[in-house]
């Protein structure tokens, strides 16, 4: 196994950890952290795979640089959304939306779409 592969496999592990945090955690801040972890893992994979040749491949490096900025923007927007949610509802966690009781469903047909 080469060094590049070792770093890339570490990146795969980081992606998996971030993915688990996103799926299994209710707290939205943790979900955002998970998203960032996944991004960092992908960046690590890309950068290490760029280093396979004698001179590093500049295209994946430029891609990671672009990705970093996009990930910062996404994080900032996600944090703004969470802040707003916290102010409106006082909550920082995500809960499974419960389907409305049946008597409500028959009156309001539009809510059908949400229950799927």
Partner 1 sequence: MNEPAATNLDRSARFLAGIGAAFLGLGLVWAILALPQVEVGLGETVRRNLGVSGVSNPVTAVLLNFRGYDTMLEVGVLVLALIGSQALRGTGETLPEVDRDIVLDSVVRVLTPPLIIVAAYMLWIGGTEPGGAFQAGAILAAGAVILLLAGLRPPRLWHWMIERLAVIAGFLVFALAALACIPLTDHLLGYPQSSAKYWILAVEGVSALSIALILTLLFAGHPLGRGMERDQDEGDR
| Contacts with partner 1, residue ranges (CB under 8 A) | 2, 5, 8-9, 11-13, 15-17, 19-20, 23-27, 45, 49-50, 52-63, 65-66, 68-70, 72-74, 76-77, 79-81, 83-84, 87, 92-93, 95
Residue 27, CA distances (Å) to 15, 22, 24, 90 in order: 19, 9, 9, 13
CB of 31 to partner 1, least distance (A): 12
Between 33 and 63, name the residue whose CB sits nearer to partner 1: 63
Angle between helices 3-24 and 28-50 (to 10 degrees): 160
Between 24 and 104, name the residue whose CB sits nearer to partner 1: 24
Q: Residues 38, 1: contact at Cβ < 8 Å?
A: no
Cα 98 from Cα 15, distance rounded (Å)? 30
The phi and psi torsions of 95 (rounded to 5 degrees) equal -120, 150
CB of 40 to partner 1, least distance (A): 14
CB of 88 to partner 1, least distance (A): 9
């Amino acid at each position: 196994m080469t060094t590049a592969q070792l770093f890339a496999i570490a990146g795969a592990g980081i992606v998996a950890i971030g993915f688990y945090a996103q799926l299994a955690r209710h707290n939205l801040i943790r979900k955002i952290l998970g998203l960032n972890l996944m991004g960092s893992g992908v960046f690590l994979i890309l950068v290490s795979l760029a280093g396979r040749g004698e001179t590093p491949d500049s295209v994946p490096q430029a891609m990671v640089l672009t990705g970093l900025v996009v990930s910062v923007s996404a994080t900032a927007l996600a944090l703004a959304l969470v802040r707003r949610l916290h102010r409106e509802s006082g909550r920082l966690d995500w809960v499974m939306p419960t389907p409305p009781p049946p008597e409500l469903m028959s009156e309001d047909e539009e809510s059908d779409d949400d229950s799927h």
